[in-house]
C-alpha cells in the first residue's frame, strides 16, 4: 500500500520516439545485417493533459522525477517544455529534483538554450549521452553527431542548465575516457 505522506520518485518514459539508432537499444533490430527501427514500436508520447492526469494526486509530494530515454528520447515529446515546467512547478516538492536523459542530438542549439533558461535556478540535471569523441561517438549513437550534441549541450549550459556527460565505455572508445573527462570539465558539465 502506498503511503501518501511520504515523497514519491517517478521514472517516466514520455515517448518511444527517437532520432538515434543505438545499436543495443530495444527500439532497434538487426534485419538482414542492417540496423532498422523495431516495427513493434507504437510511436506515441504522453501529452501535457495526460501527464497532468497522471500526477493529479502527487502535487508537491514528489522528490524526484526522471525522464528516461530507455525506449525513446524525452526531448522528442512535443509537450516537453510544458511537461517540464508543470513538473517543476506542480509535481515536485520544495526539495524535489528533476532529471532528463537525452542523446542531445535532436533540436537546435536555440531550443536547448531556451530549455536551459527554463531550468535555470531549479534543482535539475540533464544527462547527455555522449559515448566518445568526434571519431567514435556515432559508432554506438547511430544517427547522432558528436559536434551537434556538444553544440546543444554547450547552449544548454550557457543558458543556466546543469548538464551531465553520460559515457558508456566500449572497446572502441575506452581509450578516450580521460579526454572525455577533460572536455566535460572544460565545457562546464557538472559530472
The x, y and z cell numbers of residue 92, run together, are 515536485
- For each of the chain's 191 residues, which pLDDT tens digit applies? 567 677 899 999 999 999 999 989 999 998 998 989 999 999 999 999 999 999 998 889 899 999 998 889 999 999 999 999 999 999 999 999 999 999 999 999 999 999 999 999 999 999 999 999 999 999 999 999 999 999 999 999 999 999 999 999 999 999 999 999 999 999 999 99
Smallest CA-to-CA distance from 37 within 49, 19, 55 is with 19
Kindly report the three-state secondary structure assignment for every residue of 30-94.
Answer: EECCEEEECCCCCCCECCHHHHHHHCCCCCCCEEEEEECCCCCCHHHCCCHHHHHHHHHHHHEEE
At 128 the three-state DSSP class reads: strand
CA 20/CA 92 separation, integer angstroms: 30
State pTM to two decimals.
Answer: 0.94
Point out which residues pair with 81 in neighbouring strands: none
Q: Which three cell numbers stand for residue 158?
A: 550557457
Amino acid at each position: 500500500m502506498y503511503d501518501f505522506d511520504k515523497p514519491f520518485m517517478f521514472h517516466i518514459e514520455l515517448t518511444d520516439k527517437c532520432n538515434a539508432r543505438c545499436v543495443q537499444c530495444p527500439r532497434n533490430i538487426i534485419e538482414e545485417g542492417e540496423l532498422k527501427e523495431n516495427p513493434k514500436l507504437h510511436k506515441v508520447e504522453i501529452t501535457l493533459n495526460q501527464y497532468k492526469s497522471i500526477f493529479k494526486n502527487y502535487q508537491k509530494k514528489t522528490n524526484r522525477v526522471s525522464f528516461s530515454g530507455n525506449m525513446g528520447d524525452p526531448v522528442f515529446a512535443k509537450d516537453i517544455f510544458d511537461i517540464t515546467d508543470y513538473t517543476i512547478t506542480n509535481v515536485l516538492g520544495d526539495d524535489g529534483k528533476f532529471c532528463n536523459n537525452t542523446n542531445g542530438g535532436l533540436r537546435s542549439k536555440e531550443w536547448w538554450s531556451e530549455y536551459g533558461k527554463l531550468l535555470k535556478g531549479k534543482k535539475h540535471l540533464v544527462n547527455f549521452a555522449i559515448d566518445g569523441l568526434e571519431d567514435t561517438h556515432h559508432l554506438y549513437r547511430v544517427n547522432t553527431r558528436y559536434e551537434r550534441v556538444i553544440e546543444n549541450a554547450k547552449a544548454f549550459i550557457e543558458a543556466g542548465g546543469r548538464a551531465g556527460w553520460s559515457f558508456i565505455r566500449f572497446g572502441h572508445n575506452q581509450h578516450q575516457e580521460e579526454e572525455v573527462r577533460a572536455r566535460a570539465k572544460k565545457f562546464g558539465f557538472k559530472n
